[in-house]
Every structure is written in C-alpha cells, then in structure tokens.
Amino acid sequence: MKKLFFASFAPLRETLFYLPQRRKARKGEFIEMEVAQVVKKVVKEFGTRDVFEIAVKSGVEIVYESWYPTTIGEFDRRKKIISVNRRALEESKNAEELERIIIAHELGHFFARESNLAKETEEKFAREFAQILITQHLEET
C-alpha cells in the first residue's frame, strides 16, 4: 500500500471526522498516514461506503452542471459543493459508475482539505481515496 505524507487534520466538528494529533503540526511539517486508514476512519464514522450518503452526512452538497469536459468534477472548499459534469456523464457508457468515482474523488479533496498538501499531492490523495473507497465498496456487494 502506498503511503502519502500530509499534515495532521484539525478536528472537523461538522463531520465529526478527525485524525488524532499528538501536537499541532507546523506549516510544512508532514505526518505519515496511509490513505487506506483515512478511508477506514471515514467509513467507520459515517457507517457507510456509499458516496452519496457520505456527502450528505458530511454536509457536502452535490450539484450537476454542464461544462466542456476538461474536468469531470470539482470541489468548492468554501461552499462545500461537489460539482459533477453532466456532459461527461451523458457521454459515458457507464454514467452511474463514473458518477460514483467522481463523487468519491471529490470527497477525497474534502477530507484532505485541512492537510495543507501541495496541489499535486492532494490530487494523488483524492485519487487513491476514491480508488480504495470504490474498490472496497464493490468487493462488499
């Protein structure tokens, strides 16, 4: 299992999700944590692997918009909104699966929001978060 390095999360009261801190991390200081452990904590906290339920329970709104498909999803940190590109879903042969993948990926950004990751590292975190959440969800069904 790959490991990513990121600063510890501050407690997230609105989602009741947190990673334990021994002490407050300084900017630029990173603490090692496996993405799989983050997924495990999210699933335990929310009692589900369903991306739609996780979004609702964590207060993240999902909206559907159409734009030129250079991206298929986006996460607005300030508004806590996941935007799913409707056009990408319409062009997909398996829109339902793509929709779950997009939402899981954007939830990865949501749960990484307090981590002070570099943009590229956060993108890797979100990608792996989605992969683990979706893959293990499929294995359980």
Residue 66 banded pLDDT, cuts 50, 70, 90? very high
User: What proportion of the chain, given as a percentage, has pLDDT over 70?
Assistant: 72
The single-letter DSSP state of residue 8 is: P
Of 9-18, 58-67, 118-127, the range with the lowest mean pLDDT is: 9-18
Domain count, the chain: 1
For 21, the domain range is: 4-120+130-140
Whether 62 maps to a domain, the answer reads: yes
Q: How large is the average pLDDT for residues 77-97?
A: 94
Pairing of strands 73-76, 61-65: unpaired
> Under a CB-based contact definition with an 8 Å cutoff, are residues 105 and 84 in contact?
no
Q: Angle at the Cα of 102 (from 4 to 123), degrees rounded to 5?
A: 25
Report the distance separating Cα 100 and Cα 105, nearest Å.
9
pLDDT at 121: 84
54 lies in some domain: yes
Centroid of chain to Cα 32: 18
Query: At residue 63, does pLDDT exceed 60?
Result: yes
Helix locations, the chain, DSSP H: 35-46, 51-57, 86-91, 95-111, 119-140
Q: Check residue 2 and give its pLDDT.
A: 39
pLDDT of amino acid 79:
95
82 in any annotated domain: yes
- CB burial of 105-138 (b: ≥16 within 10 Å; e: otherwise) equals bbbbbbbbbbbbbeeebbebbbebbbbbbbeebe
Q: Is residue 87 part of a domain?
A: yes
Nearest to 103 by CA among 76, 128, 80, 74: 74
Kindly report the CATH number assigned to the domain that includes residue 56: 1.10.10
**Helix (H, G, I), strand (E, B), or coil: what is residue 22?**
coil
pLDDT tens, position by position, 19-36? 333 334 444 333 335 788
Residue 125 included in any domain: no
Q: Which class for 77: exposed (0-12), middle (13-18), buried (19 or more C-beta within 10 A)?
A: exposed
Determine, yes or no, domain membership for 45: yes
